[in-house]
Structure 1
Amino acid sequence: MVQAVGQRPAISERLHMHRLYWQRKEQPYPLAAFRVAKDFFFSRHFQAARHLLVLGKRIEAETLRVEEFLGDYERMFQDTEKIGQDGFWTAEPFTGIPWMEAILGCEIQASDESFISKPWLKDLAQAEQLRLDRGNPWLQKYLEFTDALVAFSKGRFPVGMPIMRGPSDMVGALMGQAEMVYALEDEPARMKALFLKVTEIFLQVQELQRSRIPPFFGGWALGFYHVWCPGPAIWYQDDLSALLSPELFRSFLVPTSRKICEGYAYTAVHLHPASFFLLDEILANEKLTAVEVNKDVGGPSVEEMLPELGKILARKNLILWGDLTIQDLEVIRKKLPLRRLFFHVIAPSVEEAGELLRFIRNWRT
């Protein structure tokens, strides 16, 4: 039996707190999930991947042996069990791989710390060949991870999606970031078609994965953020939206974000502060239920983000992600309402995570 650092609530209580969160009702204290890690280079946290992190090494789907990763997943799950958190640790296909880029045909290479993709789309006419091939080796590997994790879980934890990129990130990966921006002005009609095509492929991949994942206590989880949802859930990111004006965002990314959210009851978008200038446009998506905000290395601070965090909480649920400190939490406790709040905290050790959790559970004192 694992001894929890924090007093572990019963499953029924944790589920109830997640329902309060999604119903936007006042919470006894904010929900929190933890990832025990000393940095944000998550590829390095998998022992099974360390031998692959060789600068310039080409990575193929068959390079990844799923069974070698299971010990890492067990270690990570047990860390969160020791913490006694309220969030539900979620297993995802190895999050170090840029899965959508690989599925879309990009070559994957290793660096010393992560895995990157190389663009191949030199002419927009080549985009006509983009489609989801069920025999795609990267798709098959993604689903192999999913099936293995479902079996490995034995009902102990949910399985969800890792970082999968969004339309702008996929297109930027396919053709290069600068090339994408120029093409938005030079060939808008073809670019709109490309954005919609990669969105369709993204949704097809997610539906294939979801069809293999059984419900977890009647719901599903937002992978990577470890938020339990009472119904089907999806999240996406558009980091390269930071390169677009609000007008270009409305024209190219509002349609794709709405399309992603259409078929799911619980939806979230990942957001860096660099895209805060688009926040009003993002919040206008009535199908979007949550916004995840990164506390980025190098700032802005949590206190500096308070106006945007408050604006999000007025209309959507908030997931705040990063190496949050007691000082950060104290600022939030004093300045933001106690509803719609979820923290995903990166902590260097189980013990430090436990200290943060104790502070969170004493939110009202």
Structure 2
Amino acid sequence: MNDQRQVEDKIRAYQKFWQREEVSRPLIGFDIGGFFSLRRFPALCELEDGAVLSPELLAPENYLAEYEAFYRRSAAIADDLIKGVAPIPAIPWIEAMLGCQVRISQASQSIWVEERNASWEELETLQLEDDNPWLLTYLDFLAALERQAEGRYPVGQPFFRGITDLIGALRGHNQALIDCLEQPQRIRRLAHQCADVLSDVTRKQYEVIQPYQDGYFVEQFSLWSPDITVRLQEDASAIYSPRLYRDLIQDADRALAGAFPYSLIHLHSSSLFLLDDFLAITDMDAFEVNKDVGGLSVEEMLPFFQTIQAHDRCLVIRGELTREDIAVMQNQLSPNGLLLQIVVDQVSAIDQYQGIREIAWG
């Protein structure tokens, strides 16, 4: 486990990251098995393939031992990042709160969302009630994790899907694209309704989550920040044209990013053609970009990374980064405001990265 001095050193490094202060190298850390988080929870893996997941199946106390074991494995890794926990990241929490059925897929080690195909009449009054069973279960998870952590490590939020993703889940992805052309006013209004739901859940969770070292934590990226952070993403924006995104979605993203002290957006390479439109949201403090299997290479994404840094935004790069990837970035990217999160299947895979944190940049 990290001693207090190590924790304080890491916190100072995070503060430099957010301020984009001059540093000799970026923050570098590891995520163990991060792309298949269902594996962390044997209780979920025992459910029948295709089973509908319900709040009643998610008693937090049934998972606490697994959380503690996973935290201990992660915290034993010598890297630059704080390690913490969050309610089961594989669960599409927001879609479930909004009435979509979610099912277990043991074959793909994931939990997937059934499109709700809701009518416009059903969505007219879309909002999140305080007694929503999925919301209560999510908050119960946070409270249970806080009790177990006892301040030893941070509790944070998992990933929530973004506005375009939620619109697709609610209306059906194919129908949502038709709606963009035939019912733009309704899509624009639904985008703001989804932003309100995301804002509401974000605020409610921070009524439960306790500060850690006077800051807060986004678990997926092991990212500590000096104040509350809202995490955005727009995976489904990959099938929106720039005009549709600007006309129908951007204002809702802008409102969500501006509603909290810090904001971060998660992107895949498939949405980088919209980067200028995301950068136009001046309250977007940090950009996280995945290196995806089958997506653009690090070398192909370099111009986008450089554009983000040229706009004085923090940059998180996450994925199965190789030593060759890192060597390319060392000569092309500034280490200031840069965090590299290397995803590996198991702890032993970290051995191939020995010395990577000692290499000078620039």
| Fold-level similarity (TM above 0.5) | yes
Match of 1:111 in 2: 105
User: In the aligned structure 2, how far is the partner of 1:288 from the partner of 1:83?
Assistant: 30
Query: Please, which of 328, 331, 335 is the counterpart of residue 328 of structure 2?
Result: 331
Match of 1:92 in 2: 86
Q: How far 1:178 sits from its partner (Å)?
A: 0.7
**RMSD value over aligned CA atoms?**
1.8
User: In the aligned structure 2, how far is the partner of 1:160 from the partner of 1:80?
Assistant: 15
User: In the aligned structure 2, how far is the partner of 1:170 from the partner of 1:140?
Assistant: 20
Look up the equivalent residue of 2:134 and give its one-letter code: W
- Structure 2 unaligned spans of 5+: none
Contact 1:17–1:27 under 8 Å retained in 2: no
Look up the equivalent residue of 1:91 and give its one-letter code: V
Change (3 A) 1:157 1:205: same
Match of 1:249 in 2: 245
Match of 1:67 in 2: 61
Percent identity over the alignment?
A: 32
1:203-258 CA-to-partner distances (Å, cap 9, x unmatched) read 11110001111111111112311111111111111111111111111012211111
Instruction: Give the 4+ runs in structure 1 shifted more than 4 A.
Output: none
Using structure 2 for the length normalisation, give the TM-score. Answer: 0.94
- Structure 1 unaligned spans of 5+: none
Query: Please, which of 335, 358, 361 is the counterpart of residue 361 of structure 1?
Result: 358
Contact 1:292–1:318 under 8 Å retained in 2: yes
Change (3 A) 1:347 1:359: same
Look up the equivalent residue of 1:29 and give its one-letter code: R
Contact 2:335–2:361 under 8 Å retained in 1: no
Change (3 A) 1:17 1:357: farther
Q: Is residue 80 of structure 1 aligned with residue 74 of structure 2?
A: yes
User: In the aligned structure 2, how far is the partner of 1:277 from the partner of 1:44?
Assistant: 33
Contact 1:323–1:347 under 8 Å retained in 2: yes
303-312 vs 128-137, which moves further:
128-137
Match of 1:126 in 2: 122
Using structure 1 for the length normalisation, give the TM-score. Answer: 0.94
Query: Please, which of 49, 52, 60 is the counterpart of residue 58 of structure 1?
Result: 52
Look up the equivalent residue of 2:258 and give its one-letter code: E
Contact 1:321–1:344 under 8 Å retained in 2: yes
Match of 1:169 in 2: 165
Match of 2:346 in 1: 349
Change (3 A) 1:259 1:223: farther
User: In the aligned structure 1, how far is the partner of 2:43 from the partner of 2:159?
Assistant: 18
Q: How many residues align?
A: 359
Match of 2:256 in 1: 260
SS in 2 for 1:156: coil
User: In the aligned structure 2, how far is the partner of 1:289 from the partner of 1:8?
Assistant: 28
Matches within 5 A, 1:1-365: 2=1, 10-37=6-33, 40-52=35-47, 54-112=48-106, 113-315=109-311, 316-353=313-350, 355-356=352-353, 358-364=355-361
SS in 2 for 1:27: coil
SS in 2 for 1:190: helix
User: In the aligned structure 1, how far is the partner of 2:223 from the partner of 2:103?
Assistant: 31
Q: How far 1:337 sits from its partner (Å)?
A: 1.3
Q: How far 1:263 sits from its partner (Å)?
A: 2.1
User: In the aligned structure 2, how far is the partner of 1:57 from the partner of 1:119?
Assistant: 16
User: In the aligned structure 1, how far is the partner of 2:354 from the partner of 2:200?
Assistant: 37
Q: How far 1:30 sits from its partner (Å)?
A: 1.2
Contact 2:331–2:361 under 8 Å retained in 1: no
Change (3 A) 1:167 1:321: same
User: In the aligned structure 2, how far is the partner of 1:271 from the partner of 1:46?
Assistant: 26
116-125 vs 61-70, which moves further:
116-125
Q: How far 1:136 sits from its partner (Å)?
A: 1.1
User: In the aligned structure 2, how far is the partner of 1:363 from the partner of 1:174?
Assistant: 48
Contact 1:21–1:340 under 8 Å retained in 2: yes
1:127-154 CA-to-partner distances (Å, cap 9, x unmatched) read 0242211111100110011001111111
